[in-house]
Structure 1
Amino acid sequence: MTTEHNTKLNPLQLRQLIRNGGHRGNTSGLAPGYVQCNLAILPADYADEFLRFCQLNPKPCPIIAMADQPGAYLLPQVGTDVDIRTDVPAYEIFEHGQHTQRVHDLISVWRDDLVTFMLGCSFSFEEALLADGLEVRNISEKVNVPMYRTNIACQRAGRFGGNMVVSMRPMKAADAIRAIQICSRFPSVHGAPVHLGDPSQIGITDIHQPDFGDAVSLGADELPVFWACGVTPQLAIQHAKPPFCITHSPGCMLVTDLLNSRLSIL
């Protein structure tokens, strides 16, 4: 099934395709109009601290929803027939803070003590930018958004800490100003950018070598514009070193039945 066909699927159809192994790439541009979520799945004895970390760092870690109880893998609060064990294209597994494997389902590793957090994703505000006529470079070039580690420290919560990860989209100055105005309306999906211009000011040494995702073209008349990114919890998890946890693979999100239009504060 082609990527062009996948863009025409509604969220339920897309989740079923993913569940059956029919789509394993990033989800940017798919199921337009619907909220996509980053994931953090942690043992129950780490969940309260992680929740506090998200509350203290709402730009990189905006909570959309969380499981009602440990072990719950069906998530009706975000859509019809959502099974967190199967409905994301790729997952990353960490043990004691170290990445151990990438998998395409969680059936064999699921545990009754795991708590699922669903966090806001930049793909939601990308739709608002496109609707206003702004180019989103990673979509126009059909690649995953470039993401970078920074020197911007997150606020600590117990065992969770570390620095922010940002995503980047090149824009001309006037478009960058408009993007700030648009994204300020969406605080639950990262809100306004955290930086624009010189990458070195936030600890990025080579804009053409992202730490996650893919490089995109950057014109001489364009500014790199940086948003807080939902990969940030992965670094916080590495810092906390829980014995076991799961995140989404960068760019591979949970596509929900929630509407992006409901996230705007205006």
Structure 2
Amino acid sequence: VHRGDPLAFGLPPYFASVVTSEDVGSTGFDRTGDFVKTIFDCLRPYGGTAFLPLEGGKNAMFRKAVDEAKLSRAKVGQAGQWTTLKRAGALEGSADWTHEYSDPSNTLTSLDKLVKAPLGLLWYGGPAGDAELFYDRHEWPPSAIIIDGRMFIQGPGKLTAVDVYTGRVIWQNAIPIGKTKGRRGNFTATGYHLLATSDSVYLVYPKTCLRIDPATGKTISEFLLEGKNEEWGRVRVTGEFLVASIWTDKKIVESGKNPGDKIEVKGKAPREIRVLDRKT
């Protein structure tokens, strides 16, 4: 409980999914412009909403103040007796990181225009800071995938979805310890290819690719390889297509130390590219 001037608490930005008050008169509503800005700054992107009991003149004052503040992607509505203020969608200028190297083109470049100095902390520690959620970075584990305000991270035996704005753990799935072909950290079992879109998370095991609901962690569907010696390699999503390299057994013949010597090495290598409907 914080006592004092509610408009001077200095609450962190983006932390609240819901803000409400049974008595807006005691929360600084008379300074309507500051009241609107303080509430909106606290709301989490992608749907954080304030529910306020405003009637008559107060409702009109509030709506006018929101219009004058020119808040990015703010939406005023009505839900029964409550006047609502919602922060809809992404922060203007923010960007996602959907593949291991940012995007399907391996650009290793973020298009985020919002993050710049001076920087600050949104959250620190807590359940999402538990070391058990992460691989040792020296083993080149999969990159964190970030889209629509959710961060998906792999650790030994688990895949975890985290609210990137608050550090809240949204869901966690147990997964087998292992790896898939073509990963940069391929000398130890440091996880699988992973990517995400707004409606799907793709987790690639050697023989199956899971399509997972990003909101709940439940498996929507599976893509299975039918070939006995086939394994999934790198995957990308572009538009409505899932593009994957398929690894199969291969004999590699190399020249030996002496002229005429041949060395035969057996292993797996990427032999073809397959393009699938990413949902079916």
TM-score normalized by structure 1?
A: 0.24
TM-score normalized by structure 2?
A: 0.23
Larger Rg: 2
Higher helix share: 1
